[in-house]
Structure 1
Amino acid sequence: MFHPLPVFIGLRYLKGRSGDKFGRFVSYMSTAGITIGVMSLITVLSVMNGFEGQLKHRILGVIPQAIVSGSAEHAPDVNTLGHLDGVEGTAPIVSTDAIVQSPVAIGAGKLLGISPDSHEPIKQYMVRGAISQLTPGSYKLVIGRKTASDLDVSEGDKVRVMITSASQFTPVGRIPSQRNFTIAGIYDTATDVDGQLMYANLNDVSRLMRLPRSQPADLRLFVTEPFDVPKLEKVAESMGYEWSDWRALRGELFQAVKMEKNMMALMLGLIILVAAFNIISALIMVVMEKQSEVAILKTQGMTHRSIVLVFVVQGASSGVIGAVLGGVAGSLLALNINEIMQFFNLSLLGGGLSLPVSLGIDQVVTVVVGAIVLSLLATLFPSLKAASVRPAEALRYE
């Protein structure tokens, strides 16, 4: 098969001579380093994506993603807000911080007043009772498994719910608005949301908060992509509404996950960088060894650009091979990591739980292309050094 001359010579140098074992060893280690770095980076990013996606589904899929508040004169317009780009649906809601007390313990959380007939994601996580029992005037409460455990209550038990923001003055002092509620159900999302969110009927919570009858309920927005809420916030505020979203409750958690993923990518990226420096070392040794050959090629008419291309081909070949192998190996490892760990009887999460994995093709392509570009950049200095060889000096003692 015909190859351009610089490519042919570069690939010939890549194979090396049979006696140049050390040079070939350094070249192989460069390829192996890039392969391991790319494979590790793809695997770790896939697992981190899986954890992020699971948190997104279990936490952001349950808590109110966005709440729009208005006033008696300017109530949230369901038709306008419900048809915004990125909004999947709406539901009436009121929310407040509340204290809940049982005969043996006391706790606190966010009390959400909802309509049992509207769409409510927590329904799929119910383990006891049902959201449909939250009828107006029943003063029933749905709590998480952790809250139920902390308060030592179960379905059918009574608890006292107090709202300090709706307190009133009495002859004995300021007393918070309070009322006994019956536990109508328990949900379990397997996250810390189970210890924070409580649900009751919209009308019951409004009465407990002592809201005026003219005060309209807030509007809960269900969005397609929770991370796009800043765009919707600008639109809602331009209409004169007050806005709150999941970032107030869980913003720090997802910022921490994002930072951890970036730090892991940085640390594993250093492995690829070290392997690229190995390419530089290997090429410099080759350049020192091939000075006389480079001089002969120059005397025969090979241009400066062609000499540079020879060593770029040799060095970049290690990077390309390593990046492609690492991309394939990393993708296969990420997709089969749970089966591999099960084969070796390992469990990082304990309890037989499997690692969540989400392989992003765009991330795989970015990592592989990035490794190839880094390898190309690593070849520039040795290649330019080889092209600067002067034939007269290199062949003086030959």
Structure 2
Amino acid sequence: MLLSAYLSKRFRASSGSKDEKNGFVSFIAKASTIGILLGVAVLIVALSVINGFEQQLVHRLLSVVPQVEYVAPNRAIDNWPEKVAKLTKQPGVTGAAPFISVNGMAQYKSELKAVEVRGVDPAFETEVSAVNQFTYGKLVSQISEDEIILGQQIVKQLGVEQGQLITLLIPQVNQAGAEILAPKRVTLTLVGVIEMGGPIDSSAAFIHLNKAQSVLGYEQRQVTGLRLAVNDVFQAHQIALRVGQTIDDYVYISSWFRTQGSLYQDIQMVRTIVYIVVFLIIAVASFNIVSSLVMEVREKQANIAILKTMGAKDSTILATFILQGLSQAFIGVVLGSFIGVMLALNISELFTLVSQLLGANPLEGVYFIEFLPSKLVWQDIVVTVIVTFILAVLATLYPAWQATRVDPAKVLGN
């Protein structure tokens, strides 16, 4: 093996010398190294961004939107305090809270905006939601009965400021549910603004649970739904079905997979596409190793023949050209990993800088975040390196085997 490494080093040095008649072999070898470098760097950066989006989905979006909900379609849920206490004790459940949800309109002067009004109990809402982390002004956990908290886009569209009065238009339905009455007007003071990014900013309106009950005619222990927070968001649907069996009321069971599942599936689909496309790029670069080694074997036939006449074994020749190809891959992998890690660690700042220079943010108003997240996972780097080396080894096998087939008598005789 030491002899093979020495010979590989000598062959590599001779291929890069200025006296080489055919510099095309050296060019192909360098092109394969650059191709592997770019492929590894792009894969590490792309996977880091995808991991960042998944992390933000879990710790940002899913910390605010309901992870599990039980919504009563026909009649209100009675005795919610006892049911919340019961749900909290279920395995996998970290918190439970009551709510009343209704669609309505927010009005300020002549401006109107459709909103999703959500009546919450401040004492319980923080057990199931991290909305306070994205709220400035008065927090949801501090809201009183005559106050309201709106999303930033709603505030911007209405042109209202904190401390000013706005009007909520709440639809009214008779007890039989067959006739829609004139909407009820409720005047509230804007005390807080939710600034999270994405669709929540353009739809969320939080009011006190007691206020929602009085407006809709519910009793103090009645709500339209119960919300859960779970210890594993990716098991939310299974937990929702299991825990839902403990509720006596007729409710619709919903989890974040129904409301946000398409976004999570898109992230996983992009991850798969990135793996396939970038590994194909690395595979193409690895096939350049085949081309360069085949040409080098032909160019070094005389050297190989002399080595065989001196007693070099086929295994030595085979190992020599395998190491020759792996050295090209090794340089590409090391440099590509370094560049990829550096870019992955600073991609958020680079994206912000480019957005400021261009004066536009392509993520603004499209996704639930307005910055480019990144999370570097060392397992992704290990998988990338291992797969790249496997492709490189496969690429070197045929040229190295061809080198062992050189007949010294024919080569030296010519």
What's the TM-score, normalizing by structure 2?
0.77
What is the CA deviation profile of residues 246-284 of structure 1, one whole-angstrom value per residue up to 9, with x for unaligned ones?
233333334334444544454444432332121111111
1:197 match: 204
Cα distance in 1 for residues equivalent to 2:177 and 2:331: 79
Cα distance in 2 for residues equivalent to 1:214 and 1:327: 59
1:162 match: 170
**Cα gap change, 1:151/1:339 in structure 2, threshold over 3 Å: closer, same or farther?**
closer
Structure 1 position 273 matched with structure 2 position 283:
yes
Cα distance in 1 for residues equivalent to 2:8 and 2:229: 58
2:13 match: 15
1:28 match: 30
**Cα gap change, 1:239/1:10 in structure 2, threshold over 3 Å: closer, same or farther?**
farther
1:178 match: 184
**Cα gap change, 1:356/1:127 in structure 2, threshold over 3 Å: closer, same or farther?**
same
User: How much has 1:354 moved relative to structure 2?
Assistant: 7.1
Q: Is the 8 A contact 2:325 2:396 kept in 1?
A: yes
User: How much has 1:15 moved relative to structure 2?
Assistant: 2.9
Cα distance in 2 for residues equivalent to 1:24 and 1:51: 41
**Cα gap change, 1:223/1:170 in structure 2, threshold over 3 Å: closer, same or farther?**
closer
Structure 1 position 222 matched with structure 2 position 238:
no
What SS does structure 2 have at the residue aligned with 1:236? helix
What SS does structure 1 have at the residue aligned with 2:11? helix
Q: Is the 8 A contact 2:148 2:188 kept in 1?
A: yes
- Map 1:96-107; keep pairs closer than 5 Å: 96-107=102-113
Cα distance in 2 for residues equivalent to 1:40 and 1:349: 25
Cα distance in 2 for residues equivalent to 1:394 and 1:94: 90
Q: 2:135 aligns with which of 126, 130, 133?
A: 126
What SS does structure 1 have at the residue aligned with 2:122? coil
Q: Is the 8 A contact 1:283 1:311 kept in 2?
A: yes
Q: Is the 8 A contact 2:241 2:253 kept in 1?
A: no
Letter in 1 for 2:166: K
What is the CA deviation profile of residues 288-319 of structure 1, one whole-angstrom value per residue up to 9, with x for unaligned ones?
22334445555666555444332221111211
What SS does structure 1 have at the residue aligned with 2:150? strand
Q: Is the 8 A contact 2:293 2:396 kept in 1?
A: yes
**Cα gap change, 1:296/1:129 in structure 2, threshold over 3 Å: closer, same or farther?**
same
2:48 match: 46
Cα distance in 2 for residues equivalent to 1:78 and 1:287: 76
Cα distance in 2 for residues equivalent to 1:242 and 1:170: 18
Structure 1 position 391 matched with structure 2 position 407:
yes
**Cα gap change, 1:209/1:365 in structure 2, threshold over 3 Å: closer, same or farther?**
farther
Mean Cα displacement is larger for which, 369-378 or 122-131?
122-131
User: How much has 1:182 moved relative to structure 2?
Assistant: 0.6
Cα distance in 1 for residues equivalent to 2:313 and 2:240: 60
Structure 1 position 361 matched with structure 2 position 378:
yes
Cα distance in 1 for residues equivalent to 2:354 and 2:222: 61
What SS does structure 2 have at the residue aligned with 1:84? coil
Cα distance in 1 for residues equivalent to 2:355 and 2:216: 54
What SS does structure 2 have at the residue aligned with 1:395? helix
In structure 2, list runs of 5 or more residues that go unmatched. Answer: 362-369
In structure 1, list runs of 5 or more residues that go unmatched. Answer: none
Cα distance in 2 for residues equivalent to 1:260 and 1:309: 39
- Map 1:197-346; keep pairs closer than 5 Å: 197-209=204-216, 218-237=225-244, 239=246, 242-298=252-308, 304-337=314-347
1:140 match: 147
Structure 1 position 84 matched with structure 2 position 86:
no
What SS does structure 1 have at the residue aligned with 2:116? strand
**Cα gap change, 1:92/1:73 in structure 2, threshold over 3 Å: closer, same or farther?**
closer
1:108 match: 114
Q: Is the 8 A contact 1:68 1:220 kept in 2?
A: yes
Q: Is the 8 A contact 2:341 2:376 kept in 1?
A: yes
Cα distance in 2 for residues equivalent to 1:160 and 1:48: 39
What SS does structure 1 have at the residue aligned with 2:191? strand
Q: Is the 8 A contact 1:66 1:229 kept in 2?
A: yes
Letter in 2 for 1:183: T
Letter in 2 for 1:123: N
Cα distance in 2 for residues equivalent to 1:340 and 1:80: 45
Q: Is the 8 A contact 2:305 2:406 kept in 1?
A: yes
Letter in 2 for 1:201: H
Please provide the CA RMSD for this pair: 3.8
Letter in 1 for 2:186: N
**Cα gap change, 1:382/1:239 in structure 2, threshold over 3 Å: closer, same or farther?**
farther
Q: Is the 8 A contact 2:104 2:168 kept in 1?
A: no
Q: Is the 8 A contact 2:321 2:399 kept in 1?
A: yes
What SS does structure 2 have at the residue aligned with 1:117? helix
Letter in 1 for 2:201: D
Cα distance in 1 for residues equivalent to 2:230 and 2:158: 33
**Cα gap change, 1:96/1:294 in structure 2, threshold over 3 Å: closer, same or farther?**
farther
Cα distance in 1 for residues equivalent to 2:177 and 2:379: 63
Q: Percent identity?
A: 29
What SS does structure 1 have at the residue aligned with 2:192? strand
